């Protein structure tokens, strides 16, 4: 009995340590054999786990670990005692560790199987939850409306059966629609209605009418009308497509023709492109070359102008110094000169200048005798432009050096970039190849500026004031530009329409006129008759042969420069001493010479008649020079001498000024009054005055004063 009781007690103790539900190893055996547990077995496993959780089994480990407020011992009293004993005895139970490890492995396997088996339940639960949420958000009216629309759509789409009825009735259609499908349709419609809420409010009446129409069944007539409307729409669209196809076909034909034309014109276009590239490269190189040579040309022009101006200033200063020396000699003639004053350097220099002056006068007189001009010449009318041999040689050397440097300026340049003829040939090839692009590029406006450095280079030593100067018409640049684009059979109309017809006038305006203006400012002596006549002739020829208008800026600058030089000459070069004793002196006296010098300036001024404005010219020649200087000197002359001088003055006046009641006659009132006064003061019966009296009458007759 004791043994049986012990055995029962051991069995009982052993039962306490096992799980309290039957067959604990059944699920493990199925998993190890490779079987998949069904839903019932998984449900049973869940229940066992729940029951174990509720009973608090010792080997159960919860999924969510609870927070332990205080660490309490889960051991039984007997286990604590055993644990204490094991600690005392310092022994470790390895079986317990192995058992825990096995239990943890079984637990992990169980959870893995449980998670795999619960996917389907989770899907069903998720679908059920979504349906519940949809039911909460969708009203019953929306659900019924969605179901009704589904039935109507099935009825309208499903074809009729041969018996004349529909394939299935409304009840069957309704039963075939699952609740989930209807809910999804209702939910989708609800979402669509929410997104279009604003539009639905604005068109509520129309929406109600459309809903009523949608809910009603369409009649065959409506269906036929809809089909006919659709058919007409399709016909219109087909007609549009046909017209578009026809238009596209025409465009394709046109594009093919254009393609063929482009293919045919491709060689010509390629040749033009190559030609334009060559022209572009040539023009760029030409501009670079001329830009590099322009500073050299400017320097040479400046040096040449300074050389000419230096010579002219020397002559003008020498003439003015001679006038001052002679005036000083006459003023000191009545005073005895002391020996100390004669030994002064100034006196010696004055004597040297007087000797040189008389020597030049003697040489000019001898020259006039050789030319048989001595009898008709008046002292003071000739120009003292003789230069010493040494100074003349220096001037020649300097001019030759400038000329040599101007020639060497283009030694390192090929003829294509230094000769105007070859440059114009390049542009003529462009003009002949494509006239439209030639005009579009404004070549006619650019050519004068492009050729300007070369024209200036050829005009470096040119001056119309020199004794011998090359005429413009004989220069290379003028001939090349005049023959540019010349056609033998060219008509007047073609010449008028020629864009390059103003090439030479443009060069005259931009290059020649500024050159002449600089020469007038620096080199022209208004008291020199030779220079004045050369300058007047050159400007007359320019105005006659080239279209130079009065509004031309460069021409106006030239005229202003001429007037300024004439005013300076009037202020600085006219000096007529008034001494009564000199009336009895011979014609060679200083008074007569200075009067003739003023008379020469008067004649030079009147040479500009027809070029300068008559009003300005009358103010200078008559108002200032005649009335202020010449007429005052005539009052101290003898009657015969005064009449002779007046006769010369009247014959110098331009004929166009001497018309009745003209402005010139008003300016000559003082002069006319002096002639009348001289006639009245002399005896007409005196044989000495008879010839002068006849001249005086001729003067008054010409001045319309008799």
CB burial of 118-137 (b: ≥16 within 10 Å; e: otherwise) equals eeeeeeeeeeeeeeeebeee
Q: What is the pLDDT of residues 4-18, one digit of tens each?
A: 444 444 444 444 444
Mean pLDDT of the chain: 79
593's enclosing H/E stretch is: helix 590-606
| For the chain, counts of helices (H) and of strands (E) | 31, 0
Are the beta carbons of 527 and 600 closer than 8 angstroms? Answer: yes
The pLDDT value given to residue 28: 67
Residue that has been written with the tokens 């007539």 in this structure: 221
pLDDT category of residue 173 using cuts at 50, 70 and 90: very low
Residue 76 DSSP symbol: -
Q: Note the helical H segments in 158-219.
A: 170-176, 179-195, 197-202, 204-215
Q: What is the pLDDT of residues 611-667, one digit of tens each?
A: 999 999 999 999 999 999 999 989 888 888 899 999 999 999 999 998 888 888 999
pLDDT category of residue 488 using cuts at 50, 70 and 90: confident
The pLDDT value given to residue 69: 44
Angle between helices 443-458 and 420-433 (to 10 degrees): 170
Look up residue 125 and give its two tokens. Answer: 């639960």
Determine which of 201-215, 262-276, 527-541, 672-686 has the lowest per-residue pLDDT on average: 201-215
Measured CA to CA, the distance from residue 301 to residue 460 in angstroms comes to 5
Determine which of 39-43, 293-297, 461-465, 593-597 has the lowest per-residue pLDDT on average: 39-43
Q: What is the pLDDT of residues 389-431, one digit of tens each?
A: 888 899 999 999 999 999 999 999 999 999 999 999 999 999 9
Residue 624, number of CB atoms within 10 A of its CB:
17
Instruction: Return the sign of the alpha-carbon dihedral for residues 388, 389, 394, 395.
Output: positive
Q: pLDDT: is 139 or 560 the higher one?
A: 560
pLDDT category of residue 380 using cuts at 50, 70 and 90: confident
How much of the chain, in percent, has pLDDT values that exceed 70? 71
Measured CA to CA, the distance from residue 644 to residue 696 in angstroms comes to 9
Determine which of 318-327, 556-565, 582-591, 646-655 has the lowest per-residue pLDDT on average: 582-591
The region, left, alpha or beta by phi > 0 then psi within -120 to 50, assigned to residue 74 is: alpha
The pLDDT value given to residue 148: 61
Residue 458, number of CB atoms within 10 A of its CB:
18
List residues bridging with 612 in a β-sheet.
Answer: 609
Measured CA to CA, the distance from residue 374 to residue 367 in angstroms comes to 9
Q: pLDDT: is 336 or 151 the higher one?
A: 336
Q: For residue 117, is pLDDT > 60?
A: no
Determine which of 163-172, 198-207, 468-477, 681-690 has the lowest per-residue pLDDT on average: 163-172
Q: Note the helical H segments in 524-589.
A: 529-545, 553-572
CA distance readout (Å), 547 to 280, 452, 541, 555: 32, 19, 11, 11
Q: What is the pLDDT of residues 529-547, one digit of tens each?
A: 999 999 999 999 988 888 8
By C-alpha distance, which of 259, 129, 130, 236 is closest to 187? 130
The pLDDT value given to residue 206: 57
The pLDDT value given to residue 185: 62
Which of the given ranges, 15-24, 233-242, 371-380, 483-492, has the highest pLDDT on average?
Answer: 233-242
pTM, whole model, 2 decimals?
A: 0.64
Measured CA to CA, the distance from residue 571 to residue 259 in angstroms comes to 80
Measured CA to CA, the distance from residue 583 to residue 589 in angstroms comes to 9
Instruction: Return the sign of the alpha-carbon dihedral for residues 64, 69, 70, 75.
Output: negative
Report the 3 state secondary structure along 6-75: HHHHHHHHHHHHCCCCCCCCHHHHHHHHCCCCCHHHHHHHHHHHHHHHHHCCCCCCCCCCCCCCCCCCCC
CB burial of 190-218 (b: ≥16 within 10 Å; e: otherwise) equals beeeeeeeeeeeeeeeeeeeeeeeeeeee
Q: What is the pLDDT of residues 445-459, one digit of tens each?
A: 999 999 999 999 999
The pLDDT value given to residue 692: 85
Which of the given ranges, 136-140, 194-198, 592-596, has the highest pLDDT on average?
Answer: 592-596
Residue 70 CB burial class (10 angstroms; 0-12, 13-18, ≥19): exposed
The pLDDT value given to residue 9: 44
Q: What is the pLDDT of residues 61-111, one digit of tens each?
A: 555 444 444 444 444 433 443 444 444 444 555 555 566 777 777 777 777
Measured CA to CA, the distance from residue 195 to residue 282 in angstroms comes to 72
DSSP code string of 351-407: HHHHHHHHHHHHHHHHHHHHTT-STT--TT-S------HHHHHHHHHHHHHHHHHHH
Mean pLDDT confidence for 485-513: 89
pLDDT category of residue 303 using cuts at 50, 70 and 90: very high
């Amino acid at each position: 009995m004791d043994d049986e009781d012990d055995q029962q007690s051991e069995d009982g103790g052993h039962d306490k340590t096992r799980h309290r539900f039957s067959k604990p190893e059944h699920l493990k055996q199925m998993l190890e054999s490779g079987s998949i547990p069904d839903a019932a077995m998984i449900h049973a496993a869940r229940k066992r786990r729940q029951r174990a959780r509720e009973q608090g089994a010792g080997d159960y480990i919860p999924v969510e670990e609870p927070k332990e407020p205080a660490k309490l011992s889960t051991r039984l009293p007997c286990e604590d005692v055993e644990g204490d004993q094991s600690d005392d005895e310092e022994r470790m139970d390895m079986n317990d560790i192995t058992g825990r490890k096995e239990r943890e492995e079984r637990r992990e396997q169980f959870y893995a199987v449980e998670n795999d088996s619960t996917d389907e339940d989770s899907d069903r639960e998720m679908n059920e939850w979504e349906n519940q949420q949809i039911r909460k958000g969708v009203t019953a009216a929306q659900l019924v409306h969605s179901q009704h629309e589904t039935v109507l759509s099935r009825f309208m789409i499903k074809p009729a059966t041969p018996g004349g009825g529909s394939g299935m009735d409304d009840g069957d259609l309704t039963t075939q629609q699952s609740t989930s499908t209807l809910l999804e349709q209702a939910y989708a419609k609800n979402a669509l209605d929410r997104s279009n809420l604003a539009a639905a409010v604005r068109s509520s009446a129309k929406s109600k009418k459309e809903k009523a129409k949608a809910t009603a069944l369409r009649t065959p007539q409506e269906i036929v009308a809809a089909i006919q409307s659709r058919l007409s729409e399709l016909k219109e669209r087909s007609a549009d497509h046909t017209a578009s196809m026809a238009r596209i076909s025409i465009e394709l034909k046109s594009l093919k023709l254009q393609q063929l034309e482009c293919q045919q014109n491709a060689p010509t276009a390629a040749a033009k492109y190559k030609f334009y590239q060559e022209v572009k490269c040539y023009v760029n190189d030409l501009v670079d070359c001329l830009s590099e040579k322009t500073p050299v040309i400017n320097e040479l022009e400046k040096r040449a102008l300074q050389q000419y101006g230096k010579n002219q200033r020397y002559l003008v200063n020498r003439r003015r110094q001679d006038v001052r020396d002679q005036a000083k000699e006459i003023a000191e003639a009545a005073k005895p000169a002391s020996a100390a004053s004669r030994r002064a350097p100034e006196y010696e220099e004055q004597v040297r200048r007087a000797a040189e002056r008389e020597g030049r006068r003697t040489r000019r007189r001898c020259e006039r005798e050789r030319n048989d001009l001595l009898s008709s010449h008046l002292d003071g009318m000739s120009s003292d432009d003789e230069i010493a041999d040494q100074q003349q040689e220096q001037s020649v050397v300097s001019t030759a050096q400038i000329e040599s440097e101007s020639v060497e300026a283009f030694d390192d340049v090929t003829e294509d970039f230094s000769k105007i003829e070859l440059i114009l040939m390049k542009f003529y090839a462009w003009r002949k190849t494509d006239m439209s692009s030639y005009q579009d590029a404004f070549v006619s406006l650019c050519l004068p500026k492009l050729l300007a450095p070369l024209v200036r280079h050829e005009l470096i030593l040119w001056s119309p004031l020199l004794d011998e100067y090359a005429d413009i018409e004989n220069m290379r640049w003028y001939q090349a530009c005049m023959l540019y684009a010349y056609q033998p059979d060219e008509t007047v109309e073609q010449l008028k329409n020629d864009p390059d017809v103003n090439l030479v006038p443009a060069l005259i305006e931009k290059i020649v006129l500024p050159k002449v203006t600089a020469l007038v400012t620096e080199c022209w002596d208004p008291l020199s008759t030779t220079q004045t006549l050369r300058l007047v002739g050159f400007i007359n020829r320019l105005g006659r042969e080239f279209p130079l208008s009065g509004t031309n800026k460069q021409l106006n600058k030239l005229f202003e420069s001429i007037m300024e030089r004439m005013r300076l000459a009037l202020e600085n070069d006219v000096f007529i001493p008034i001494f009564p004793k000199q009336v009895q002196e011979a014609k060679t006296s200083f008074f007569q010479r200075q009067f003739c010098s003023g008379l020469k300036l008067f004649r030079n001024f009147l040479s500009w008649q027809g070029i300068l404005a008559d009003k300005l010219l009358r103010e200078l020649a008559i108002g200032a020079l005649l009335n202020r200087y010449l007429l005052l000197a005539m009052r101290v002359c003898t009657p015969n001498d005064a009449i002779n001088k007046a006769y010369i003055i009247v014959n110098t006046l331009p004929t166009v000024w001497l018309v009745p009641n003209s402005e010139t006659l008003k300016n000559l009132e003082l002069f006319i009054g002096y002639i009348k006064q001289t006639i009245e003061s002399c005896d007409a019966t005196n044989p000495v005055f008879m010839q002068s009296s006849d001249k005086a009458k001729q003067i008054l007759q010409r001045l319309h004063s008799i």
